[in-house]
Structure 1
Amino acid sequence: MLLGAVVAGPVAAAPPAAAAEGPHGDFTITDPRITESSGLVASRRHPGVYWTHNDSDDGPYVYAVDGQGRTVATVTLRGVKLRDAEAISLGPDGRLYLADIGDNLDGTWPEVWIYRFTEPDELGDRTVDATRFRVRYEDGPRNAEALMVHPVTGRVYIASKHESTGGLYQGPEALSPTGVNTFRRIADVPWVTDGAFSPDGSRLILRGYFWAAMYRWANNEPTRIGPVDLPFQRQGESVTFTADGRSVLYGTEGARSAVKEVRLSGDQLPDDVRPTAAPSSGPATTPGAAAGPGATTDGSGSGGPPSTSVALWIAIAAAGAVFVLRKARRPK
């Protein structure tokens, strides 16, 4: 499906005010309970704090970690039984969205769920009530690991995970807690493990295990900008912008998992932090065409591995294959 087929949605007059930026940079998650960190999002209320969660084999828990990787809060969702939580995002209403959208058997679950709860004003352990939203895709069940809430419109997007038929799906203008929310395919994407909007909503980053690409988001559609450097990670599953929009942080699964910062520059930077906000030139392309496997790595393609030798990335792919296959075959 071409990007021109995207249905325009409402656009607010201005993005919410960005939170003051706290310290950020590389850190290691030290909590022994967090062994499968699968989502990551920068807090708006608590500068320098990031929310994460395990992807499976855990209870209904969301953890806040600081810039040193220490857990500073654990939130328990009352009465929730998670099946395969894969992503977390923050809306303009100050509420967190936890996406229970994984389906490693590609079509086993007829519906998946999103849980929404208010980001706590104070850090600390607590139990909260969450609103559950039922989700189905217009073209049938699928596996997905990426959920992005637009920070201006509040609209929810999901990127499905498939090497050849992945899609970017748009939710209804507002999620309904009653009935089923149908997500409609608006563009093709490759194997996406996570994505995030910039704080001002002008950029969208998508990542896979071995690639990352940046898109300009305007008029409710993405336009390719180009690749973004991606550090080697054993099983890279998450990405978020820092609260100032000048960097992205990449996370991975595993005990004592490292979170890596990559500073952005040029057109990669969101409009509100760039010296000039003039739109970049060049034709719009679908995310799949821009960032699919085999894209060039010199900036002329859009989403392949960063400027790293082919031999190194072959070695990385071989090293990560065992972890990917093990996870794909694990029953949920």
Structure 2
Amino acid sequence: MCRRILLSALVTLSAIKSALSAPIFSHAIQVGVVTDHNIDEASGLAASRIHPSVLYTHNDKGDSSRIFAIDADSGNLLAELNINNARNYDWEDIAIGGCPGALTKSCIYIGDTGDHGGDGSVKNIYVVEEPALLRSGDLDPIVTLHYSWDVLDTETVMVDPSGNVILVSKVHGGQGKVGMIPASAFAAAGTTYQISHSTALRIPPTTHNDPVGGDISANGKEVLLRTHDSLYYWRVDDMDYLRALSTTDPIVVSHIKEHQGEAVAWDALGNGYFTCSEGHNQPLYYFRRSSN
């Protein structure tokens, strides 16, 4: 009995310590409106690593194979980029990370990972290098990776500093699976990578199909995961994301209820994060870090 009480006390103290050390972010600051009429289902969001104050987004299922560069200070469209030799079956998330085999370069990872209304996902990751000159045009994937995983739907695609891709499945109740595609898998173009090991996501049960998006900070030490009603934060100093997301209670951070909000992205410097929603003329929100 004493041992159980001691263990319970230690867990409680650990949770209190984690909460006290968690960063504090401002309430939602509307920095712009995504007004371009072609952006009507902004499902993912990622901050450029080479162009200051630039965000990339894309539409959900049914659009052409394109992404959009928008101004992080206004929401205005900067460029429309068509992805050659790709198909938007159900694009659900987008992330920025080092390029396969060249981590000092910056690449955009696009996840065709959604289930398209319950009929299963095609499970493709398209990787394109960030364009040095930001203007409308075409981009060729440097890698298209097909993977296999025993989940129906995934709406969270994140990339860590080592080029590993972290996936989180979407399920009714929110407690999905966390899987990883190692950076080395992207060197074997034309093959299928099998995700054989998964962990169970540790978030409170929900009444929705969750989670719907997430992002890893550029330094790899902070993770955001979005559900319909909350935004969760983990500090992951050892970058073991599968362990952290499955064994550590997250901290709830600032969030705003949006029309159909699925997208979240750290800014390139880790000073805060952006969110936006699907739909026409949706606000672009920023949450500024105010404490560490």
Give the shorter-chain TM-score range.
0.7 to 0.9
Alignment of 1:20-39 (within 5 A): 26-39=31-44
Change (3 A) 1:188 1:87: same
- Is 1:46 the counterpart of 2:54? The answer is no
Q: 1:40 to 1:119 in 2, by over 3 A?
A: same
Closer/same/farther in 2, CA of residues 116 and 37 from structure 1, 3 Å limit: same
**Displacement after TM superposition at 1:142 (Å):** 1.3
Shift, 1:232, TM fit: 1.6
The structure 2 residue matched to 1:204, chosen from 223, 232, 245, is 223
> Would you say the 8 A contact 1:214–1:224 is kept in 2?
no
Match of residue 216 from structure 1: 235
1:153 matched residue in structure 2: 162
Q: Displacement of 1:56 after TM fit?
A: 1.8
Q: Does 1:132 align with 2:157?
A: no
The equivalent residue for 2:270 is: 245
Which residue of the partner structure matches residue 86 of structure 2?
80
Post-superposition offset of 1:58: 1.2
Please show how residues 99-178 of structure 1 align to structure 2 within 5 Å: 99-106=111-118, 108-109=120-121, 111-130=122-141, 131-137=143-149, 140-150=150-160, 152-164=161-173, 165-174=175-184, 175=186, 176-178=188-190
Kindly indicate which of the two structures has a greater share of residues assigned to strand.
Answer: 2
**Shift in Å, 1:185:** 1.1
Which residue in 2 is equivalent to 1:283?
none
Q: Distance in 2 between matches of 1:200 and 1:74?
A: 28
Residue identity matched to 1:187: A
Deviation at 1:92, TM superposition (A): 2.2
CA drift of 1:189 comes to 4.7
C-alpha change, 1:105 and 1:58, in structure 2 (3 Å) is closer
Task: Tell me by how many angstroms 1:265 deviates.
Answer: 4.0
Residue 187 of structure 1: how far off its partner (Å) = 3.3
Relative CO higher for 1 or 2, CA cutoff 8 Å, sep ≥ 6? 2
Taking a change above 3 Å as real, the CA distance of residues 46 and 173 of structure 1, as seen in their structure-2 partners, is closer
2-structure distance, mates of 1:243, 1:179:
32
Could you give the per-residue CA deviations for residues 133-159 of structure 1, whole angstroms, max 9, x where no partner exists?
A: 10111xx23111110001x21100111
Aligned twin of 1:298: none
User: What is the count of residue pairs matched by the alignment?
Assistant: 240
> Counterparts of 2:275 and 2:129 in 1: how far apart (Å)?
24
Corresponding residue number in structure 2 for 1:314: none
Task: Quote the residue 1:186 is aligned against.
Answer: 199
Q: Which amino acid aligns with 2:90?
A: D
Superposed displacement of residue 214, structure 1: 0.5
Contact kept, 8 Å, 1:107 with 1:141, in 2: the verdict is: no
CA contact (8 A) 1:195 1:238 kept: yes
CA distance in 2 between counterparts of 1:141 and 1:231 reads: 29
Q: Deviations over 1:224-283 (max 9, x none)?
A: 45111111201111000112211111111000111111123444xxxxxxxxxxxxxxxx
- Aligned match of 1:230: 255
1:65 pairs, out of 70, 76, 88, with: 70
1:22-56, Cα deviation, whole Å (9 max, x unpaired):
xx962111110000000101111110010000012
Change (3 A) 1:225 1:145: closer
- TM-score normalized by the length of structure 1: 0.68
Q: Which stretches in structure 2 are left out of the alignment for 5+ residues? A: 1-28, 100-105, 204-209
Q: Secondary structure at the match of 1:86?
A: strand
Q: Distance in 1 between matches of 2:165 and 2:131?
A: 21
Q: TM-score, normalised by structure 2?
A: 0.77
In the other structure, the counterpart of 1:279 is none
Tell me by how many angstroms 1:107 deviates: 5.9
The equivalent of 1:310 in structure 2 is none
Matched, 1:256 2:281: yes
* Residue ranges of structure 1 left out of the alignment (5+ in a row): 1-23, 268-332
- Residues 43/107 of structure 1: CA separation in 2 closer, same or farther (3 Å cut): same
- In structure 1, distance between residues paired with 2:129 and 2:281: 27
